[in-house]
Structure 1
Amino acid sequence: MAETRKRRSERVSESSGKRAKATKKVKPKKKHRGLKIFGVLILLILLVGGVLGGKAYLDVKKASTKAYEQVDRQTEAKLPSLKAKSPFTFLFLGVNGDTANDILLLTVNPKQDKMTVISLNRDIYLTSENTTLKELYGTKGVAGEIDALQNLFGVEIPRYVKFDMAGLGDFVVAVGGIQVSNNTHFIANGYEFEKGTQHLTNAEEVRGFLTKVGDDPAKADADLIEREQAVLMAIIPKMKSVGTVLNYNKFITAFGNNIKTDFVLGNLEMLGLQYNSVLGGITKENLKPAKTMIDDKEQLILPEDKINKAHDKIEEALNE
């Protein structure tokens, strides 16, 4: 199917694909998208954190070592005891290239079986940094995001998890392929994607499907986010299958290649075994920024009351 699509695409120009009429779409709510990503991570952690043993455990250890990446941050925050099920907050970033598309602060409290999610609009402008959250990642990386958010909200963020959206194709291969619905006809990476159900089976094909296309930057961005969400939602149910568990090697390799975190293997094991109950009690807060003019340019900023609200929600979620 993928090769047929690719050969057919060679007879169709890129420009004609861009001119194809697209159906009207509604931009997905980022808070749901972020939680889907976190669902993927929890399932990954459960797989990584002790479901498999023997040779598999050695592979898991190797992958977690590859995924481990300490960042040179300016702020300080101490990770509490995970063995004691202590609540804590960490930063989740869903990135694509030099841009952070999903920015979430997650406070997990297994003693109350709750998870509080603060979803941040990536276009929020930080006056302290003179840039937006999405662009800050490109200039200062994960460390810059952690420092800025810890200072903004006045809460400790001891750990982070970064998910490279460009590597979703590796997870598609690991689960044996997926089916997704496509609303726009386009060509990318040598593949033609028509409207309707698409069967994606290899990483190169998925990368094409997750390419930003179109002449309208805002619409192209929204369309890309929608396609990323569709791929994520198709991966999740297949991750639970027996076939995926038996095919753990590809799965673990995808973990090591596309996730970066400063959680060590022991942390991941504890999260998977002690903290998975938090998915049963999710509280979501999507902070809405306000438009304002800064240096003759319209920007989105978080009003003081929204900052205080987020601070209070996180502090409340940390109560044992």
Structure 2
Amino acid sequence: MPGWLKVLLTCFLLFIIAGLAFAVFTFYKLNQLGTSINEGSEERQPSNLRREDVNIDKKDPISIALFGVDSDESREGLGERSDSIMILSVNPNNDKTVMISIPRDTRTEIVGNDSVEKINHAYAYGGPQMAKDSIENLMKVPIDHYVSINMDGLKDLIDIVGGVTVVSNSTFEVKGNSYVEGLPYDMYGEEALAFTRSRYQDGSGGDFGRQERQQLVVEALGDKLLSAGSITRINSILDTLGNNVRTDLKMADIQDIGTKYNGARRNVERIQLEGTGETMEDGLWYFLPDEESLKEAERKYKENLEIE
């Protein structure tokens, strides 16, 4: 056998061995991740607003609550609060996602706590289950699953994937950075977090501007995590997810969503609730959603779920 052919075969075998080793390592890490992030899937109950539970394996349209959790216990005397709240109706049949941002200061009934207050308190009082129940009561839509991510973990993930590119929705300045509406910006974690949290700066658009920026950054991060370039960072990505994410989705369901529902992430309709702000008798400022806005958001969300 010629020498050059031996070298070629050796390189080919090494390539195959390296590929198999990577596959085994990834399988191990994914199983490890599934164990660390899974929380309560065995005790999970189907939504009361569903006739029957969803089947991800059969590509049923699903509804997921996404919570950005702030663990600063010094704020308002509470523990973990959902600093950011979004719900996603994901339909693989029409390849569409409907994303609704719910302002964290929305005044509503906290189901299971016998109180009416800011919706982000629900997570602090009763974790994701109380938060899901309160969202269902407010929006009149089923919530099948949830995903919670620590906001510091969001920053770390953005750094690991090499930053995200976001088109600014407003013209404003925050923490030494300037943005012009309609222009794209490359951001790493700390800047992206400041970008999503800004609401008091001139031109930032207040709560509505902040909600849209949260949606934009979440979409950009999702695209980056699923890009081919992230494969080389798979170990760091999985470790960071394991430390900062909790969900009632099983690993098999997450993998199915990543493959069978992938087309829906490229077609996202973003919705923001309309309403007014008011300081109530308890001295706190609340967002009071408009009833017509709630009904229209409910209609679009359910339509994408293919339910009445």
Confirm or deny: 8 A CA contact 1:89 1:105 kept in the other structure. yes
Q: Which residue, 23, 45, 59 being the options, matches 1:53?
A: 23
For the pair 1:63 / 2:33, whether they are aligned, the reply is: yes
Contact 1:121/1:289 (8 A) holds in 2:
no
Which of 84, 94, 116 is matched with 1:130 structurally? 116
In the other structure, the counterpart of 2:125 is: 139
- Which residue identity lines up with residue 232 of structure 2 in the other structure? L
Distance 2:138 2:177 in 1: 43
Taking the aligned partners of 2:61 and 2:282, their CA distance within structure 1 comes to: 43
Indicate which of 61, 77, 87 corresponds to 1:87.
61
1:102 Cα deviation after fit: 2.0
Q: Which has the higher contact order (CA 8 A, sep 6+)?
A: 1
Q: Count matched residues.
A: 253
Please report how far the alpha carbon of residue 231 of structure 1 lies from its aligned counterpart in structure 2 after TM superposition: 7.7
| 1:290 lines up with 2:264 in the alignment | no
Equivalent-residue separation in structure 2 for 1:283 and 1:208 (angstroms):
25
CA contact (8 A) 2:60 2:91 kept: yes
CA contact (8 A) 1:79 1:88 kept: no
- Equivalent residue number for residue 306 of structure 1: 293
Give how far 1:207 is off. 6.6
Residue 111 (1) aligns with residue 118 (2): no
* 2:31 maps to amino acid: K
Q: 1:240 to 1:112 in 2, by over 3 A?
A: closer
Deviation at 1:252, TM superposition (A): 1.0
Question: What is aligned with 1:7?
Answer: none
Q: Does 1:253 find its partner at 2:239?
A: yes
Structure 1: runs of 5 or more not aligned: 1-51, 186-193
| Distance of aligned partners of 1:208 and 1:315 in 2 relative to their CA distance in 1, 3 Å threshold | closer
Instruction: Return the offset for 1:150.
Output: 1.2
Instruction: Give the residue type in structure 1 aligned to 2:272.
Output: N
Distance 2:216 2:93 in 1: 33
Over 3 Å counting, the alpha-carbon distance change for 1:130 and 1:91 in structure 2 is same
8 Å CA contact 2:61, 2:89 repeated in 1: yes
Aligned to 1:101: 83
Matches for 1:217-228 after TM superposition, within 5 Å: 218=200
Paired residue secondary structure (2:23): coil
**Cα distance in 2 between the residues matched to 1:165 and 1:60:** 22
Does residue 317 (structure 1) correspond to residue 291 (structure 2)? The answer is: no
Q: CA deviation at 1:250?
A: 1.0
Is the 1:161–1:261 Cα contact (8 Å) retained in structure 2?
yes
1:149-193 CA-partner distances (Å, limit 9, x unpaired):
1122332211011121111343245335789999555xxxxxxxx
TM-score (norm 2): 0.66
Q: For the Cα contact (< 8 Å) 1:79–1:159, is it kept in 2?
A: no
Letter in 1 for 2:124: G
Cα separation, 2, equivalents of 1:274 and 1:74:
23
* Cross-structure match for 1:32: none
For 1:271, the equivalent position in structure 2 comes to 257
Deviation readout 1:26-79 (Å, 9 max, x if unpaired): xxxxxxxxxxxxxxxxxxxxxxxxxx7322111111112111112878884554
**Matched residue type, 2:54:** P
Tell me the SS of whatever aligns to 1:54: helix
| Distance apart, 1:264 and its partner CA | 0.2
Q: State the Cα RMSD in Å.
A: 4.1
SS at match of 2:84: strand
What amino acid maps onto 2:106 in structure 1?
A: I
